[in-house]
A and B are shown apart, each in its own frame.
Chain A
Amino acid sequence: MESLNSLLNGFAVALTWQHIFLAFVGCFLGTIIGALPGLGPSNGVAILIPLAFTLGLEPTAAMILLTSVYYGAMYGGRISSILLNIPGDEPALMTTLDGYPMAQQGRAGEALSLSGVASFVGAFFATWGLVFLAPQLVKVALLFGPAEYFALFALAFATLGGITSKNQAKAAFAAALGIVIAMVGVDGQTGVPRFTFGEVHLYDGIDFLVAIVGLFALSEVFLFLEHRGDGTGEGKSAKVSIGRITPSWALLKSCTPTMLRSSFIGFIAGVLPGAGASLGSFISYSLEKKMVDKDGTFGTGDPRGVAAPEAGNNAAAGGALVPMLALGVPGSGTTAVLLAMLLALNITPGPLLFISNPDVVWGLIAALFLGNFMLLAMNIPMVGMFVRVLLIPPRILMPIVAMISFVGIYGISGSTFDLMVMIVFGLLGWVLRKLDVPLVPVILGILLGNNMEDNLRRAMTISDGDWSALLSSPLAIGLWIVSITGFVLPILLGGIIRRRMRRDDIGAVKD
């Protein structure tokens, strides 16, 4: 009940003209960013954060804009999956399996609208889940002391490499690299400069927005330069006819159980730290295939095979906001980027956020509901317009992405030095991506590194330097056990799951 009251207050915050407008702009841009192959929700949010910042939006408004972009991009990812057989972002990969065959059979319109509805169902239930689960998690989090927080950060790092990354050693390396970058600057506790090499610009540390935009957006530009002319996205345009746009009631009805089941599974996958939307869509699809695919129609254009991953990945996107808002530990790459935004606005996510800034949290959650309805409205009748966006070739688009990244960072600091740092991060991001080192742990390390150290040192100060204090409470021990399992389990299970994912993927290409 308490949650519902807070949610009503949230609607009072969200339903101002400025916020409605921002949600609309965010949903619209997000859908476009999601639809373009290569640009996913994390890139989209990364490019727009500095802009939201330089435009001087107040925290609630900025978060509404960016989470709308996030939800929008999760919706948009399916468009190129269905029409071009190229997933707009990683979570939309599973949607290609049945979406593209449907499009080839001339049912593209149906696939698009059905997946739009499935996205809506997934996101809608996940947002309700957020309303009820996040405050519960906050209650648990209030029991946290510095030692427990330190363990929680370890948990976030341990699981973030997660099942979708191929090599746990690389995920660990990436996290350590991020923390190392966070160490640059003046030490908060003693005021001693660290790793600054006497460079005054580095005393404030490396701004994580600069690092994020470089790692995500600029490295994408370099990847496109590398693959120029290889046919990635270029020259392929949406030639398939869209067909009828509104899905029939019979079709919706037959897919309803699928959508509900997948929403639930996706939400759980999203809440688990590190698993994220890709896993949400993968598990939903495979489970649905096991449950209902009696005559082997999955993979040949079965509408349920479109509904399942779309409901799953959008539900996971909502689920990933739960640990991000309640604990300050992001559940996915994009929520890590959103976390950066909150920190940049001087708002520390975590249990206190619900107490000290209820208007931000509940306004944000209300805006998610609002955005979700807008996205449904946009994605059924206006889908034809988004399809046309796919005709913009990357050779025009990528320079625009690069230039907007520069505008955003220059707008924040007006410093040429920051732009240089961003370019260095762009190159670093390119090398890391080539070497299959995941970028999200790097970002998380930059974001949480200082916080993690502060909590360790605070715990040690309380215990007067006794390291066993880190394992003094059952909660802390529990968190350490979960983190170790979370780190080791993917080594055992990851191979199996990835092999399956790849097999499904290859199967789709052959079709």
Chain B
Amino acid sequence: MSDRIFGGVGLLFASLFIWAAFHIELSFISDPVGPRTFPIIIAIVMAISSVFIIFKPDVEPEWPRLGRMMEILAAAGVMVAYALALPIAGFLIATAVAAAFLTWRLGTTPLWSIVSGTLTSIGIYTVFHLILGLSLARGPFGF
């Protein structure tokens, strides 16, 4: 079933892509093929493979349970928050928090996660900023 849904989504995506390709404006300079043709060819390849996937699906993959699914989404959410926080909180603080969260969710006890997250952050800061001279995001305290 997963593959059938996947093929359906692929087909939908390919149609949208063809529709979008037809709406690419043409400029006055153009070659015989133009900017529309190649995307349309590729979308057709995509549509054909989607149809094959729908008609000949593989064995159903093992999807994680809802809880685990939320876990993955939460991790992605924390990563987004981390990306947004980087320019505000600075590298050291943001990284320590994000790394501690991931370590905790991967099964470390909360206290050790904080230790590990802090050490990860300081370690990366030392190696990449202090030793290799890479400029990392600066926070309000200058690090």
Q: Identify the A interface with B (CB < 8 A).
A: 51, 54-55, 166-167, 169-170, 172-173, 175-177, 179-180, 183, 187, 189-192, 194-195, 218, 221-222, 224-226, 228-229, 234, 394-396, 398-400, 402-404, 406-407, 410-411, 414, 416, 419-420, 423, 426-427, 430, 434-437, 449, 452-453, 456-457, 460-461, 464-465
Q: Is the CB of B75 within 8 A of A225?
A: yes
Q: Are A167 and B75 in contact (CB under 8 A)?
A: no
Kindly state whether residue B111 has any CB partner on chain A within 8 Å.
Answer: no
The answer to the question of B61 belonging to the interface, with a C-beta cut-off of 8 Å to chain A, is yes
CA distance A454 to B124 in the complex (A): 41
- State the majority secondary structure of interface residues on B: helix
Chain B 68-104 per-residue mask, 1 if CB under 8 angstroms from chain A, else 0? 1001100110011011101100010001001100110
Bound complex: CA A51 to CA B38 (Å):
34
The answer to whether A434 and B25 touch across the interface, beta carbons within 8 angstroms, is no
With A169-B52, A176-B49 as contacts: A190 and B10 at CB distance below 8 Å:
no
Do A416 and B83 contact each other (CB < 8 Å), given the known contacts A398-B102, A399-B117, A403-B124? yes
User: Which has the most chain A C-beta neighbours within 10 Å: B32, B117, B128?
Assistant: B32
Provide the bound-state CA to CA distance between A430 and B103, in Å: 19
Q: Do B26 and A192 touch (CB < 8 A)? A: yes
User: When the two chains form their complex, are residues A226 and B72 in contact, meaning their CB atoms are under 8 A apart?
Assistant: yes
Q: Which of A169, A225, A406 contacts B71 (CB 8 A)?
A: A225
* Complexed CA–CA distance, A210 and B26 (Å): 29
B80 and A465: CB pair below 8 A?
A: no
Which B residues, 107 to 140, have Cβ-Cβ distances below 8 Å to chain A? 107-108, 116-117, 120-121, 123-124, 128, 132-137
CA–CA, A190 and B83, complex, Å:
34
Identify which of B3, B29, B52, B128 contacts A435 (C-beta below 8 A): B3
Question: Are A423 and B80 within 8 A (Cβ)?
Answer: yes
Are B27 and A395 interface neighbours, CB within 8 A?
A: no
Closest Cβ–Cβ distance, residue B124 to chain A (whole Å): 6
Q: Which residues of B sit under 8 angstroms from A226, Cβ to Cβ?
A: 64, 68, 71-72
Indicate if B12 sits at the interface (CB-CB under 8 A): no
Q: Which A residue sits closest to B136, measured CB to CB?
A: A407
CA distance A177 to B136 in the complex (A): 33
Contacts A221-B75, A416-B87 known; list 6 others, CB within 8 Å.
Answer: A172-B45, A176-B46, A194-B24, A399-B116, A411-B128, A435-B61
